[in-house]
Amino acid sequence: MSLDYPTYDSIMTHAHDRRLREKMYRAWATRSSDLGNNPEWDNSDNIKNILSLRHEAANLVGFKNYADYSLATKMAGSIDEVLTFLQELAARSRAAAEQELSALQDLAGMDLEPWDIAFWLEKYKQAKFSVSNEELRQYFPAGTVISGLFALAARLYDVELVEEDDIAVWHKDARYFSIRNAGGEIIGGFYTDIYARNGKRNGAWIDECISRQDLNGSPVLPVGYLVCNFPPPDDAGLSLLTHDDVVTLFHEFGHMLHHLLTRIDLPSISGINGVPWDAVELPSQFMENFAWSYEVLEKCSAHPESGEPLPRELFDKLEQSRNAGAGLAMLRQLELGLFDFQLHAEYQPGEPVSSLDMLNAVRDEISLLKHPDYDRLPHAFSHIFAGGYAAGYYSYKWAEVLAADAFSAFEDAGIFDPSIALRFRREILEVGGSRDIMQAYIAFRGRKPTIDALLHQNGIQSA
């Protein structure tokens, strides 16, 4: 077995042999470290060098440390604000996580180690909710989901999405749609290429082909592409999506709307450009929320044989299973966020604290589980050492809080309320990076975001 994530995840979730899970966990947790297989791949020195160089680079341009430098272009205002944000979420999630852990330990009949959690959580979900992905996907043919999603966008934002057959595409699965205002005026367009095939990059993402701009009186409309890797259509032309796939599609489409609905004429700040890193996932995660509404899913589903929409009782089970393990998952993400942020905020050039000591200190504060001494999580934490999330991993939670808080604006008026949706379009989707994002958010919501809606949405605390 190889140490790629799908293999690791499958073993952790499904392998009945506890010793196998532990062996896999150990191999996973020591990747690229002094305890890994090959000293050549040990990242210990790389971690030290990267932290030292980042600190020096931040100093060179006048920042106290790399965390300060990172925040200069983000929505979060200060180191204290980020730390307080993460710590408050942790404090308010702790009781729920403790209850979840003890429910899992009751089911297992023993104390659980880190390599037991995913396995027993899966058993717990099967015992309690018995919702099957295979059963669900029978109701989500890709074409039906897309029509339902476009109808939702039309209803919320007063736009129309029209397929254009005369635009050249690169593959028979690719399609092109224009987006039009209520009066029929074309304001942009996008390609979709949603099925997996050999040689295509994995995952799901959007990007821009052209940004909206008008620099010299000849306006250019935005064009983007939306790519997924859903199961290719069978002989009957049918591709059935899991509910996870549906959520993914909504997510990416939320990014696409951000790109397409912009009214800004300067390309560097139109659409998704120039939007702070910790706020750029707001439109996408906001859109995900609609994929958890029965009223929306009813319009996105049709059984290929009966034509029936998703049955209500199946949706209810799906919704109940949504929050299983939410408290534990929350603590896990907060542990990573705090570790990353403190590591960069508290760096001292003369006597840098080791990344392992920092991790253990954070875990003592946050984690409910005892991790083995061999755990070398930092050595393979590529988001912060090889990607763009340095002193920014907290952004995932930050954006989730924004999205949940934004969505909760619909609570009283209903999720199709046109005046709230239109305000979201005007204040958030149209302004790109032209406006301070907190000011834009306050213009939409009437106040600053709070963490309550996310905790409520995760079933961690009632509203």
Give the catalytic positions in this structure.
252
**Least separation, in Å, of the C-beta of 206 and Zn ion?**
8
Segment (H or E) for 356: helix 355-366
Binding flags for Zn ion, 228-267, as an x/- string (CB under 5 A)? ----------------------------------------
State the nearest-atom distance from the C-beta of 433 to Zn ion, in Å.
16
- CB-nearer residue toward Zn ion: 372 or 387: 387
- For 48-80, give the DSSP string: HHHHHHHHHHHHHTT-SSHHHHHHTTSSS--HH
CB burial string 131-170: b at 16+ within 10 A, e below = beeeebbbbbbbebbbebbbebbeebbebbbeeeeeeeee
Determine the interface stretch with Zn ion among 117-125, 145-153, 182-190, 280-288 (rule: CB under 5 A). 280-288
Q: Which helix (H) or strand (E) holds 372?
A: none
Q: Which is nearer to Zn ion, 100 or 281 (CB)?
A: 281
Question: Which sign does the torsion angle of CA 86, 89, 91, 94 carry?
Answer: negative
Residue with tokens 């949940």: 404
Q: Shortest distance, CB of residue 260 to Zn ion, whole angstroms?
A: 15
Cβ-closest position to Zn ion: 284
By beta-carbon proximity to Zn ion, the closer residue of 139 and 253 is 253
Binding segment (CB under 5 A) for Zn ion, from list 278-286, 315-323, 347-355, 442-450? 278-286
Q: Which is nearer to Zn ion, 213 or 284 (CB)?
A: 284
Piece of the chain touching Zn ion by CB under 5 A; list 95-103, 273-281, 340-348, 399-407: 273-281
The interface region with Zn ion, picked from 105-113, 215-223, 283-291, 323-331 by CB under 5 A, is 283-291
> Looking at beta carbons only, is 288 or 335 nearer to Zn ion?
288
136/226 with CB nearer Zn ion: 226
Token representation of residue 28:
């996973």
Q: Is residue 395 a contact residue for Zn ion (CB under 5 A)?
A: no
d(CA 287, CA 278): 16
Provide the mask over 157-186, with x wherever binding to Zn ion is found by CB under 5 A and - wherever it is not: ------------------------------
Distance in angstroms (rounded) separating the CA atoms of residues 435 and 236: 48
Question: Helix or strand or coil: residue 162?
Answer: strand
Task: Enter the tokens of residue 427.
Answer: 């204040």
- Contact segment (CB under 5 A) with Zn ion among 5-13, 276-284, 343-351, 402-410 equals 276-284
CB of 459 to Zn ion, least distance (A): 23
Q: Looking at beta carbons only, is 281 or 340 nearer to Zn ion?
A: 281
Task: Tell which one of 284, 301, 395, 434 touches Zn ion (CB under 5 A).
Answer: 284
Question: 448 near 85, Cβ under 8 Å?
Answer: no
Query: Is the Cβ of residue 273 or residue 284 nearer to Zn ion in the bound state?
Result: 284
Query: Which residues are within 8 A (CB) of 364 and not within 5 positions of it... i.e. 6 or more apart?
Result: none
In the block, tokens 């199961």 appear at 231
Question: What does the radius of gyration of the chain's CA atoms come to, in whole angstroms?
Answer: 23
Q: Which stretch binds Zn ion (CB under 5 A): 146-154, 178-186, 241-249, 277-285?
A: 277-285
Give the nearest distance from C-beta 252 to Zn ion in angstroms: 7
Strands 175-181 and 223-230: unpaired
Name every residue whose Cβ is closer than 8 Å to that of residue 421 and which is 6 or more positions away in sequence: 156, 157
Token pair for 124: 């717990």
Smallest gap from Cβ 228 to Zn ion, in A, equals 12
Least distance CB 251 / Zn ion (angstroms): 6
Cα 334–Cα 337–Cα 342 angle in degrees, nearest 5 = 120
For the segment 101-130, give every residue that binds Zn ion (CB under 5 A): none
* AA letter at 378: P
Structure-block tokens of residue 44: 């210990």
Strand partners, 179: 161, 188
395: part of which helix (H) or strand (E)? helix 395-407
Least separation in angstroms between CB 456 and Zn ion: 22
DSSP strand E in 286-392: where? none
Judged by beta carbon, residue 124 or residue 286, the one nearer Zn ion is 286
**Which residues from 195-234 bind Zn ion, rule CB under 5 A?**
none
Judge residue 426's burial from the number of C-beta atoms within 10 Å of its C-beta, 0-12 exposed, 13-18 middle, 19 or more buried: middle
Q: How many residues bind Zn ion (CB under 5 A)?
A: 2
CB of 337 vs Zn ion, minimal distance in Å: 17
210-to-50, 205, 427 alpha-carbon distances in Å: 34, 16, 22
Residues that bind Zn ion (CB under 5 A): 281, 284
